[in-house]
């Protein structure tokens, strides 16, 4: 566990956080900013952790490229307290000290516990930095409501160390809860009717890999960014190719998630060359049903295999999702609306409902696609265990 401590009065509470993490059995190393050392001495953290504190990127140990060593050593990273300044650095990708440089080299679970004056926490710049970090999947713990060091009351004080330690435990528990499982995910756009970027499918694949699963991503053309280089992928360009790729792999999968927006219809007579107008004033495009991948997977599913589908609806969202759940023989439908005010495509955040066979639908507030992926796999894990 790597703990970043920054320059706020709440830095003294990081000592208790270290004690709780060490007591829970974690190996802890601390990286501090120069401002943090004005509040708590490095010797305190070195004594609590049994490791020297990382403080200066240009100190005597600078030749070791300590930011890389620390980033590769840790399974998770927590910044507590996280000041407004460090949130801005993390959001912008600044790298002007050891902590911010280590952050750029770190590619696993990151939690931040903000601490600042309530007015600062509500400032538009801080709000935007939080949104940017959440969109990248950074977890936030707090801040809580209470009295700050300046004597004012509001939302701003750092979460209590016990709450942060509990969140760390829950985060680490997820990192291996799909070990030994095989997950198949589809991602990509539906060209005739919506501009899906494929980013949701990418985040689902990443989340499954973070949890220890063996993952395969079958994707069409992606506009939300390239597929993860460390996840096996099969690239396709049309619905039939995606169907074939899924059917070839799904028998060995413990979990299938159909996040791709596959076209319901395809041209009857596709042309490999430009179709000339040749004086025609009108032209009729004849379409036929494309293969229904989710239906085929549900029809051929193995016992104990978990099947998850996505539903985009312009009206009667929950009723339509429940109907799809039953017709496709799925275990879970992730439903999102395309009505007025909804932003289902191209946005970094999603507002969805998780519709299962039992119980009421779970509404997820507007949040990053990575957090949606976490919530989906929390449900998937419950289905696998049940």
**Any idea which residue has 């709780």 for tokens?**
20
Q: What is the rounded CA–CA span in Å between residue 317 and residue 328?
A: 16
Q: What is the rounded CA–CA span in Å between residue 147 and residue 132?
A: 27
CA atoms within 13 A on the CB side of 4: 29
Q: Residue 67: which H helix or E strand, with range? A: helix 66-73
**Any idea which residue has 């600062």 for tokens?**
120
Which SS3 state, helix, strand or coil, does residue 148 take?
coil
**Any idea which residue has 């193995």 for tokens?**
302
User: Which string of b and e fits 216-240 if b means at least 16 CB within 10 Å?
Assistant: bbbbbebebeebeeebebbebebbe
Q: What is the rounded CA–CA span in Å between residue 262 and residue 259?
A: 9
| Residues 140 and 114 sit within 8 Å (Cβ to Cβ) | yes
Q: Which of 249, 349, 8, 337 is nearest to 150 (CA)?
A: 8
Residue 348 structure tokens:
């970094």
Q: What is the rounded CA–CA span in Å between residue 131 and residue 184?
A: 29
**Is 15 a residue of the active site?**
no
Cβ-based neighbours of 350, under 8 Å, separated by 6 or more: 200, 336, 344, 364, 366, 367, 368, 369, 372
Q: Residue 380: which H helix or E strand, with range? A: helix 369-385
| Residues 6 and 86 sit within 8 Å (Cβ to Cβ) | yes
Longest alpha-carbon distance in the chain: 84
Q: What is the rounded CA–CA span in Å between residue 209 and residue 188?
A: 19
Spot the catalytic one: 127, 150, 251, 357: 150
**Any idea which residue has 């993390």 for tokens?**
90
Active-site annotation, residues: 150
């Amino acid at each position: 566990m790597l703990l970043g401590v920054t320059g706020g009065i709440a830095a003294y509470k990081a000592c208790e956080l270290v004690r709780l993490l060490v007591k829970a059995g974690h190996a802890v190393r601390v990286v501090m900013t120069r401002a943090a050392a004005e509040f708590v001495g490095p010797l305190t953290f070195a004594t609590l952790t049994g490791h020297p504190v990382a403080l200066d990127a240009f100190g005597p140990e600078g030749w070791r490229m300590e930011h890389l060593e620390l980033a590769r050593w840790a399974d998770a990273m927590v910044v507590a307290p996280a000041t407004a300044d460090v949130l801005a650095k993390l959001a912008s990708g600044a790298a002007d000290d050891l902590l911010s440089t280590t952050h750029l080299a770190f590619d696993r679970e990151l939690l931040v516990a903000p601490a600042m004056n309530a007015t600062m926490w509500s400032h538009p710049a801080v709000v935007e930095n939080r949104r940017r970090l959440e969109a990248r999947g950074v977890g936030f713990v707090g801040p809580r409501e209470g009295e700050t060091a300046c004597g004012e009351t509001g939302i701003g004080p750092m979460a209590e160390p016990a709450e942060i330690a509990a969140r760390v435990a829950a985060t680490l528990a997820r990192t291996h809860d799909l070990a030994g499982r095989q997950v198949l995910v589809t991602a990509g756009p539906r060209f005739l009717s919506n501009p899906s970027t494929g980013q949701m499918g990418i985040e689902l694949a990443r989340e499954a890999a973070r949890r220890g699963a063996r993952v395969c991503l079958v994707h069409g053309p992606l506009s939300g960014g390239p597929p993860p280089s460390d996840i096996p992928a099969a690239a396709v360009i049309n619905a039939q190719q995606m169907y074939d790729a899924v059917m070839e792999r799904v028998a060995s999968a413990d979990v299938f998630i159909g996040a791709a927006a596959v076209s319901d219809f395809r041209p009857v007579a596709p042309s490999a060359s430009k179709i000339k107008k040749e004086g025609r004033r009108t032209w009729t495009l004849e379409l036929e049903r494309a293969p229904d991948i989710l239906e085929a997977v549900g029809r051929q599913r193995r016992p104990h295999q978990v099947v998850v589908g996505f539903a985009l609806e312009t009206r009667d969202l929950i009723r339509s999702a429940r109907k799809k759940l039953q017709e496709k023989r799925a275990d879970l439908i992730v439903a999102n609306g395309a009505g007025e005010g909804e932003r289902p495509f191209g946005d970094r955040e999603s507002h969805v409902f998780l519709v299962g066979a039992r119980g009421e639908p779970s509404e997820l507030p507007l949040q990053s696609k990575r957090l949606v992926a976490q919530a989906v796999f929390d449900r998937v894990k419950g289905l696998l265990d049940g």
